[in-house]
Structure 1
Amino acid sequence: MFENVLYQNAVDQLIQAIENKDLPQSLLFFGPSSSAKLTTALELARVLSCKAAVKGEWLCSCSSCAQHKLLVHQNLLLLGPRETSLEIAASEASFLKAISQNAEYKEATKFLFLRSIRKLLLRYHPVLLQDDDQASKVASHVLQINELLEELEQGLHTSEIKDIQKITESLVDLSVKLEAQYSYDSIPVLHIRNLSYWARLTSSDGKKIVIIENADRMLDASKNALLKILEEPPKNLTFILLTTNRNAFLPTILSRLRPYYFQERKEEEQKEVIERVFHLTASNIEDFLLGYLPVSLETIQNNAKKLYAMLEGKSLLELEGIIKDLGGLKSRLVLSLFFNQLFLLQRESIRNADEDKKALVLEKTYEALSFIKSCYENIRFLRQNPQSAFESLAHSLLKNKKNTL
């Protein structure tokens, strides 16, 4: 068990707890990003649900393990905000390279690609979306993806490479659209209430597992709903919460979780992880994944500087080129990184202010940051046209700047 998790001491602690039959119902995996918290949680779900006499063997062929490996087990729920597009793109690149070379590991890379997409689809599980206004639209989108996944699963040995590539490109495109249109930045209270109801339903297929990624990103209503079920969890249910920020949790929630720390892996360890998982070469997992942005990080940063100069009145307001360079801002991650850069540039303006005006500049900077945040939210959530949103932002910042002078 846990053979797919490298260089994490938390795994040894989990194995010991399983062998000693001392594993609690509610766990917290915390540590930096890209430290295998989700991989470990999904593997733990498989181990706990295994039907074999010897639990959790890596090559176990029981029906439960097979379903968990494909992320299609009916007793698994995964929720929480996550940017999945880069992992999907990296997995596609690994898969296409493997089949083009007829590599012996091509089946493993297909499996990696399928799982990367299902990590996204699980967040739109019918259980979570019950009574959601968007449920029917999401279901239609998910159905298209599942049909293509099924075609890919069955057609690797009979299809031409160009046909496989056509399927993977469609899958990536549909996945990006699903994430862009229906993803959330904080866990909706409806999801917590729906999983609570589902958790209490009797299952004929063994243990139920709920994995909540970025579990610190909840509003108060969601936190309170989660606390209720953590206080008295159903007997055959295991909760696994994942976070990069343990201190963001309410003490009442933390007290009900057994923590497991996932450390940041060394550069040579990360290099080995990338080689073994993706069969590609890089020395840092986060930098490796950022290489699969639809536009480069440098392009995002340069265009943020360009827009900021326009907003400061240092150049003409020419927005079409910026929006085109950023791929129309269709990628949620590109949009987020772009606005993060704008926030940083706005904060830097405080340092350049004259000392006698610093207090006023600080006040106006906070106002400007609120305008930038509103612009982001209008594009991200209200689907406002980026050019229109930027023009409104320019008007607000110009007015704010005049009041500062």
Structure 2
Amino acid sequence: MFSNLIGQESIADMLRCEVNNDMITNSMIFHGNKYTGKLTAAFELVRVLNCDGDKSKNCKCSNCLRVNSLDFNGMILLSRRNYYYETVELIKNYKQKKSAMLRNQIYKNLKLSYMPLENFLIDGAMSENDKKSAFKYADKVSEIIDNKEYNSVELEIIEETMKSFYDLYRTPNIPVNQIRNMLNWTYLSLDVKARVVIIDKVDYLESSSENILLKRLEEPSSNLYFILLAENKNRIIQTIKSRCRSYYFSDLSKESIQYIISKKYEDDNTDFKNLLSYFHNTDPCSADNSKVKLTKLINLTFNKNHSFSELYLFLESEKDKNQLIALIQGLKNCIDKEFLCREYSSGEGENLEFPILSIIDYNHLTYITDLLNTMLQRITIYNLSPKNQLEGFLYPIKEMVLNDKI
């Protein structure tokens, strides 16, 4: 059990012990940074809870086979996780190695992408046009997904359909109607040992979705389990946290990262600080690839020597919605880091990466953080224009900088 959970030995030991002693709680939060094994642990727990055999990794009982192939009717996954760039890396390596392991991982990513699109889950959660488009992409993939090998044409179809599919998602958070549909499913009677709901990015749910989820958590059923995945547990409302047992997934060690890249993805280039950097090394919106633009944006905003018109021209040159969102998220991360620097250095600040932020006093830094959180909420939940939001946020701050008010 849980031997596939690389680099999270303490979590694996804890879950193994709880399973063996019949101490698994009905509501859990798996929290930690991206690509630390939360979803892997969730699926392994689904398998173990429904196993009719010895619960070992190589168990061949029908339930284990169905869970491993992501065809088990006793679990649902609510997620808007983007597997495109990870799949791009897999396809690149598969073209060179043609290995069964890489083919199976591509297959798994395709299944994970379309699992949240079951008819009963998306009813009322997507527009009819978006549903038609999603089903069109799914039909394209269904014709080739079970092939024992993928040729170059099929790999191109997989890559193109995955990219187009994720463009349908207007916001990264799960719609409230999908949460309602999930709630209806939990009251169905199914002939399985354990029914499991996995909700990804639960820390990004709207308040109405949180209230629906909370209501169900307050009415536990003996064979119904909720596994909530989050990057930041502090963003989850306290009433939900109080009804769940939390498991923290720490960042993977360099050795674990190298092992996963070399063994699971069969790539000889393992020199990456984390799996996020590896999967998104071709993503223009990744933190590493947008760092140059982020540095320029921070200096243009907070350095008095740069004029208002320079900031205006920079923002006018940025047209891509996803890259603008990446800049906003990057700015928020920098501000959060500045707070941490001050907390651990008696308020003086030691932000060597962005020293310009050290000149901002604590009250203004708090004010900027509140504005950033509000802006991200408007973009991610209400789908407002990131360009308009960023302009409305930065221009008043720039004016304050030029007038020595910050």
- Shorter chain as denominator, the TM-score bin is 0.7 to 0.9
Aligned length in residues: 378
**Residue identity in the other structure for 2:49:** L
**Residue identity in the other structure for 2:251:** E
Give distance in 2, aligned partners of 1:352 and 1:303.
21
Per-residue CA deviation, residues 354-399 of structure 1 (Å, 9 max, x unaligned), is xxxx69xx5599379738964994699546484x666666765566
Give distance in 1, aligned partners of 2:148 and 2:265.
18
**Residue identity in the other structure for 1:338:** L
User: 1:166 corresponds to which residue?
Assistant: 156
CA separation of 1:253/1:278 partners in 2, compared to 1, >3 Å: closer, same or farther?
A: same
Task: Note the C-alpha offset of 1:16.
Answer: 2.9
User: 1:3 corresponds to which residue?
Assistant: 3
Match of 2:320 among 329, 332, 336: 329
Answer yes or no: is the 8 Å Cα contact 2:87–2:159 preserved in 1.
Answer: no
State yes or no: 1:313 paired with 2:315.
no
CA separation of 1:352/1:225 partners in 2, compared to 1, >3 Å: closer, same or farther?
A: same
Q: Percent identity?
A: 22
Give distance in 1, aligned partners of 2:328 and 2:259.
33
CA separation of 1:188/1:339 partners in 2, compared to 1, >3 Å: closer, same or farther?
A: same
State yes or no: 1:339 paired with 2:328.
yes
CA separation of 1:366/1:149 partners in 2, compared to 1, >3 Å: closer, same or farther?
A: same
CA separation of 1:147/1:65 partners in 2, compared to 1, >3 Å: closer, same or farther?
A: farther
**Residue identity in the other structure for 1:228:** K
CA separation of 1:10/1:26 partners in 2, compared to 1, >3 Å: closer, same or farther?
A: same
Task: Note the C-alpha offset of 1:200.
Answer: 0.7
Answer yes or no: is the 8 Å Cα contact 1:305–1:342 preserved in 2.
Answer: no
Give distance in 2, aligned partners of 1:259 and 1:365.
28
User: 2:293 corresponds to which residue?
Assistant: 303
Answer yes or no: is the 8 Å Cα contact 1:79–1:211 preserved in 2.
Answer: yes
Task: Note the C-alpha offset of 1:247.
Answer: 4.7
State yes or no: 1:238 paired with 2:230.
no
CA separation of 1:74/1:292 partners in 2, compared to 1, >3 Å: closer, same or farther?
A: farther
Residues 245-284 of structure 1 mapped to structure 2, 5 A cutoff:
245-280=232-267, 281-282=269-270, 283=272, 284=274
Over aligned residue pairs, what C-alpha RMSD do you find?
A: 3.8
**Residue identity in the other structure for 2:189:** T
Give distance in 2, aligned partners of 1:279 and 1:198.
39
**Residue identity in the other structure for 1:2:** F
> TM-score, normalised on structure 2?
0.76
SS in structure 2 opposite 1:178? coil
Match of 2:179 among 178, 184, 192: 192
SS in structure 1 opposite 2:57? coil
Answer yes or no: is the 8 Å Cα contact 1:199–1:234 preserved in 2.
Answer: no
Give distance in 2, aligned partners of 1:226 and 1:365.
31
User: 1:67 corresponds to which residue?
Assistant: 66
**Residue identity in the other structure for 1:72:** D
Report the more deviating stretch, 142-151 or 240-249: 240-249
Per-residue CA deviation, residues 119-162 of structure 1 (Å, 9 max, x unaligned), is 34334443333333x242342233133223323324454x642x
User: 1:18 corresponds to which residue?
Assistant: 19
**Residue identity in the other structure for 1:288:** Y
Give distance in 1, aligned partners of 2:92 and 2:288.
26
Answer yes or no: is the 8 Å Cα contact 1:129–1:135 preserved in 2.
Answer: no
Give distance in 1, aligned partners of 2:236 and 2:381.
26
Task: Note the C-alpha offset of 1:42.
Answer: 1.0
CA separation of 1:207/1:29 partners in 2, compared to 1, >3 Å: closer, same or farther?
A: same
> TM-score, normalised on structure 1?
0.76
Give distance in 1, aligned partners of 2:198 and 2:118.
13
User: 1:286 corresponds to which residue?
Assistant: 276
Task: Note the C-alpha offset of 1:80.
Answer: 5.0
User: 2:172 corresponds to which residue?
Assistant: 183
CA separation of 1:371/1:200 partners in 2, compared to 1, >3 Å: closer, same or farther?
A: closer
Report the more deviating stretch, 264-273 or 339-348: 339-348
Answer yes or no: is the 8 Å Cα contact 2:335–2:365 preserved in 1.
Answer: no
CA separation of 1:190/1:183 partners in 2, compared to 1, >3 Å: closer, same or farther?
A: same
Segments of structure 1 that go 5 or more residues without pairing to the other structure are: none
**Residue identity in the other structure for 1:276:** K
Answer yes or no: is the 8 Å Cα contact 1:152–1:167 preserved in 2.
Answer: no
Task: Note the C-alpha offset of 1:182.
Answer: 4.6
More helix by share: 1
State yes or no: 1:94 paired with 2:90.
yes
Give distance in 1, aligned partners of 2:282 and 2:252.
21
Give distance in 1, aligned partners of 2:260 and 2:85.
17
Segments of structure 2 that go 5 or more residues without pairing to the other structure are: 339-354
SS in structure 2 opposite 1:240? strand
Give distance in 2, aligned partners of 1:116 and 1:147.
16
SS in structure 2 opposite 1:216? helix
